[in-house]
Amino acid sequence: MSTPVLDVRGLAFAYPDGHQALFGVDLHVHRGERVALLGPNGAGKTTLVLQLNGILRAGAGSVAVSGMPVDDKNLLEIRRRVGIVFQDPDDQLFMPTVGEDVAFGPRNLGLRGAELQQRVEHALELVGMAQFAGRPPHHLSFGQRRRVAIATVLAMEPEILVMDEPSSNLDPASRREIAEIVQSLDVTMLMVTHDLPYAVQLCERSVILSDGVIAADGHTVDLLSDDDLMKRHRLEMPFGFDVRGLKRATD
């Protein structure tokens, strides 16, 4: 099998106050996969995500992106290759206009002129926001700002796109629009979400992180159909969502 785009081995991490968040995580994601990272609050999902591009550093174990270790020597290239879209788009939008926000990362890579403009236009087209390039981000709706935040990461042409709760705080139409964008992208993806129907819709494979370890890894519908597994890790489908019906349809 090819080298994983994301290769996490024996990853452990404790915060300075002594709280141990990860206890030896093994996770492999291969090119073209869309994987949902599921788990209850406090499971260590955010801690794991922040290890993937070196915002936090492992206490033990290792993280590699396309065979490249996440270390000081590779940090700039790792952060280009691993793009994280945070839950709050306002954490990523700080320039006067949408276009300037999307251009910020590529400009720091040294792009200028027509090449930079082309990169910005393409990223905005991918999220359906090209017509808003000259608008101030704070004049946009929350859903539109989330789409622009995705564009700021896509403009870096990452190898893996990490999305933290992409459906949170969205109305149904905006939720659908983000799903359509995700389905249209040709990029490896790790999606952190509490929205289990979103995981079913968008990710064939899911991983459950619980108490700082990987508790399960498999086909999304299979995992979410396992009542005992769901109860042990405080995961619940919304009322009326028939995941077993989906399982029967795919069997």
**Predicted confidence (pLDDT) per residue in 167-200, tens digit:** 999 999 999 999 999 999 999 999 999 999 999 9
pLDDT at 244: 67
What pLDDT, on the 0 to 100 scale, is given for residue 134?
A: 95
pLDDT single digits (tens) 203-215: 999 999 999 999 9
Burial class of residue 156 (count of CB atoms within 10 Å of its CB; 0-12, 13-18, 19+)? buried
Q: What is the helix (H) or strand (E) element at residue 162, kind and residue range?
A: strand 160-164
Please give the domain boundaries of the chain with CATH numbers for all domains: 34-50+82-250 (3.40.50.300)
Across 191-222, b (16+ Cβ under 10 Å) vs e yields bbbbbbbbbbbbbebbbbbbebebbbeeebbb
Mean pLDDT, the chain, rounded, equals 92
Q: What is the pTM of this model?
A: 0.91
Residue ranges in the chain whose pLDDT is less than 70: 1, 244-251
Contact criterion met (CB below 8 Å) for 4 and 28: yes
End-to-end CA distance of the chain: 26
